[in-house]
Structure 1
Amino acid sequence: MKKWNEVYQMVKNGDLDASLLKTGCENLKAARERAAYVMEGFKESFGATEDTMVALCSAPGRTEICGNHTDHQHGRVLAAAVNLDFLACVALNGTSVVHFQSEGWPMTSVDLADLEVKEEEKETTASLIRGVLAKLHKAGYPVAGFDMYVTSTVLPGSGLSSSAACEVLIGTTGNHLFCQDKFDAVEIAKIGQAAENEYFGKPCGLMDQTASSVGDAVAIDFKDPANPIVRSINADLTGLGLALCIIDCGADHAALTNEYASIPEEMSKVAAHFGKKVLREVQEEDLLADLAQVRKEAGDRAVLRALHFYADDRRAAEEADALDRKDKEAFLNLVKESGRSSWELLQNITPAAAITHQDMAVALAVAEKALNGKGACRVHGGGFAGTIQAFVPVEDVCEFKKTMETMLSEGCCHVLSIRPAGGLIL
């Protein structure tokens, strides 16, 4: 950590440009201005002086490329960090209270004197802060209060996993402030997942946190979730002539916890028929051989969701290999297959019983029209609402964006890039 004024001058003078480039910024001048803005916001919010010791930290959102709802069954995924992030300025405050000021939102305060789960905090930022720091404390590190001013381009409900980015931000910050940076990126991801499961109250796998924490594109195998195998992938989309677009379908997925929870619950119900906890421990052939009985015990939707798991688990590995060998046709075909499987088998496009509003289904139909047989599109992330993902030929991206925004809503289509770094202290 350095004095506020020293860091501010480093930002202004371009001395932090190398770190800012790791965030995937495409305009260094704008990135410097944003970092300076965050520091100014911190100073104003907390009455800091030019001698206050501070640090700048960043954690990215993520895009799931393949492996839709495979991670919580210890399957394989392909994901990447994106160039939208949480950017924060932080300083220790000498108390036991964390003050988290997210731009445009009320201050969140968490007293670390009590690190137990709070039912009244479920699904709030406070629960993530308490949860992550509780896990660091449990690992044997003394945690303390700090002041943090945050600005974010990863909007809640955007499908870019704002909760995971927040967890990685707090984890990366806590690791730096209290743990001498001893935790690696995967360990920070595990801490974030535990906080989300136990404190936030949302069942989730480890994909979102790993992609955000590690950075770049990664193929992750969760067969042993305590020690996931993480492989960096050369996802040169520009070299393949493709642009990554994330389209907001116009419905908020922030209040759909029960819909999301039903997927791991039903998949695990199928696994339980075979005396296992997750589908990765069950052979697909065994499921097919005993299909009639499993349908009776778990229900047809659970069986279909299990079949999706096996297919998308394979596809995640195949897509990673296709990107590594720069096989554009194979990659796009696999994206299309994954999208169809999510719609037909996983059934996470429309919430149960939703008839009047089927925003994600409409967005996918419109994207198919706009692509006109080129590129590929699919549900993005958890599903039911939020966003869809499209890989668009670079020469068509402007027209694609225009069509999507004309048919859905202005500003709904975001053209993103893959960020080279995960959570980092600048």
Structure 2
Amino acid sequence: MKTRLSGGELDTEIRRIYAADSVEIASTRERLAALIERFAADFGEADAGLFSAPGRTEMGGNHTDHQRGHVLAGSVNLDMVACAAPNGSTTIRIISDGYPALELDTAALEPDPAEVGTSAALVRGVCRAVTDRGYAVGGFNACITSQVPGGSGLSSSAAYEVLVGVIVNHLFCNDELSPVELAQIGQYAENTFFGKPSGLMDQMASSLGGVVHIDFADPANPLVEPIAFDMAASGHVLCIVDSGADHADLTSEYAAITDEMGAVSRHFGKQYLSEVREDDFWAGLPAVRAATGDRAVLRAAHFFGDNARVPKQAAALVEGRFPDFLELVRASGVSSAMQLQNLFSTADPRQQAVGVTLALADHLLAGRGAVRVHGGGFAGTIQAYVPVDRAEDFRAGMDAVLGAGSCAILHIRPAGGVVIAD
């Protein structure tokens, strides 16, 4: 594999997956070669494959997926890559940069309370979901390296789930599981084994790749519309800015959003807000407030507004109306701040890093582009669409306050979870 890599045999595939130029192809070659060497050092020489799953950016629909609504999302050029090979046993061994080595037995695939919140829970959950689909999952060895930091807002957990799913699918399922199925498997692992309530957006964006408009009305068969979008042609770049506040321990805040939106839907005899008529919500507002409380009402109002914006955002991209897209992004950001209220944790209101980061970004843009909270919120990152002629000044201004490397200029990656080579 290393010979194929160094000889340029994989360059075409690397270019396809990452939309990479010659410099990026060379750096990706070096990264993959180092991973192959690491695998050989840890597990010995083997006929191993290379696998990748990207981080994701949420472009529209903030906290709409868990209510079976619409989302607009894209995979980004930052990813997790693995070198992996079957080992002929029932034991899975994974070594990941910066984390303790992981080992588990595929003969024991029940949820383990001691593993809640760990990578082992995600691996065990993925394997359980695959075996439930009738496949025999064996053991394998893997080394993983990541450009998607935990707590970065780019959904490192979903990338990890999809990456493990791609490995298992290739080694034990003849690649028969579809990208949608792999996303559903990842969500199952995160909800049931890892212990974090989540919608399906993160996994779908990582698994499918590119920009996609997804309707989750039927999560077993989500409607997926690929969106042909060239960021460069828009005259803007996509920036993800790390606020410096870690969102790794905010499960209760995320769960409260799901619970409160659910309380409103149950008031109307429905399970999800996407099943509730918006007109009925507004007509019944006094009773809803009395039954669920004002924060739940505001969060439901956000859902109705943001859910309606997503198809308009998708249409604006398809039709080349980028200024209209930016206006919808701004409206989404205002709604998240005022109604969804996911800029800071109420447990520590003195710490409002996301709000400060948004304010700084808005100041630097001076009325151009658009900014909004990104992903789950409360900490983590914001998203900014920055005019190309302001990109370097914007990055420098954000980094000057938040620290070097806080502002990343990303591009949309066309490929989702993939086998790079085997």
TM-score grouping bracket, smaller chain normalisation: over 0.9
Structure 2 distance, partners of 1:362, 1:298, is 30
Task: Report what 2:355 is aligned to.
Answer: 361
Structure 2 distance, partners of 1:157, 1:69, is 17
Structure 2 distance, partners of 1:207, 1:235, is 19
Deviating 4+ runs (over 4 angstroms): none
Task: Report what 2:31 is aligned to.
Answer: 34
Q: Select the residue among 198, 221, 228 that pairs with 1:227.
A: 221
The letter for the 2-side match of 1:235 is F
Structure 1 distance, partners of 2:125, 2:158, is 12
Structure 1 distance, partners of 2:99, 2:61, is 33
Q: Which runs of 5+ in 2 are unaligned?
A: none
Q: Please tell me the root mean square deviation across aligned C-alpha atoms, in Å.
A: 0.8
Structure 2 distance, partners of 1:158, 1:251, is 9
Q: Select the residue among 40, 44, 65 that pairs with 1:43.
A: 40
Pairs within 5 Å for 1:399-418: 399-418=393-412
For the 8 Å contact 1:379–1:387, the answer to whether it is kept is yes
Task: Report what 1:143 is aligned to.
Answer: 137
Structure 2 distance, partners of 1:88, 1:310, is 39
Q: Select the residue among 326, 337, 341 that pairs with 1:343.
A: 337
Q: Residue 156 of structure 1: SS of its match in structure 2?
A: coil
Task: Report what 1:159 is aligned to.
Answer: 153
Structure 2 distance, partners of 1:218, 1:246, is 19
Shift of 1:23: 2.6
The letter for the 2-side match of 1:244 is L
Q: Select the residue among 260, 263, 268 that pairs with 1:269.
A: 263
The superposition leaves residues 36-57 of structure 1 with CA deviations (integer Å, 9 ceiling, x where unpaired) of 11101111111x12xx221100
Structure 2 distance, partners of 1:388, 1:110, is 36
Shift of 1:289: 1.1
Q: Which runs of 5+ in 1 are unaligned?
A: 1-6
TM-score (normalised: structure 2): 0.98
Shifted more, 136-145 versus 24-33: the winner is 24-33
Task: Report what 2:416 is aligned to.
Answer: 422
Q: Residue 234 of structure 2: SS of its match in structure 1?
A: coil
Q: Select the residue among 165, 169, 194 that pairs with 1:171.
A: 165
For the 8 Å contact 1:168–1:209, the answer to whether it is kept is yes
Shift of 1:352: 1.0
Task: Report what 2:288 is aligned to.
Answer: 294
1:251 aligns with 2:261: no
The letter for the 2-side match of 1:57 is F
Q: Select the residue among 111, 123, 132 that pairs with 1:129.
A: 123
Task: Report what 2:302 is aligned to.
Answer: 308
Structure 2 distance, partners of 1:71, 1:196, is 15
Pairs within 5 Å for 1:81-160: 81-160=75-154
Structure 2 distance, partners of 1:103, 1:275, is 47
Shift of 1:112: 1.3
Aligned residues: 417
For the 8 Å contact 1:24–1:82, the answer to whether it is kept is no
Q: Select the residue among 49, 67, 76 that pairs with 2:70.
A: 76
For the 8 Å contact 1:171–1:188, the answer to whether it is kept is yes
Shift of 1:182: 0.7
Shift of 1:25: 3.6
Shift of 1:8: 1.2
Shift of 1:394: 0.7
The superposition leaves residues 109-168 of structure 1 with CA deviations (integer Å, 9 ceiling, x where unpaired) of 111111000111011100000000110011110001110001100000000000000000
Task: Report what 2:389 is aligned to.
Answer: 395
The letter for the 1-side match of 2:18 is T
Shift of 1:356: 1.9
The superposition leaves residues 367-420 of structure 1 with CA deviations (integer Å, 9 ceiling, x where unpaired) of 000111110000000000000000000111000000001122111000000000
Percent identity at matched positions? 50
Pairs within 5 Å for 1:313-324: 313-324=307-318
The letter for the 1-side match of 2:27 is A
Structure 2 distance, partners of 1:169, 1:25, is 20
Q: Residue 254 of structure 1: SS of its match in structure 2?
A: coil
Structure 1 distance, partners of 2:303, 2:6, is 49
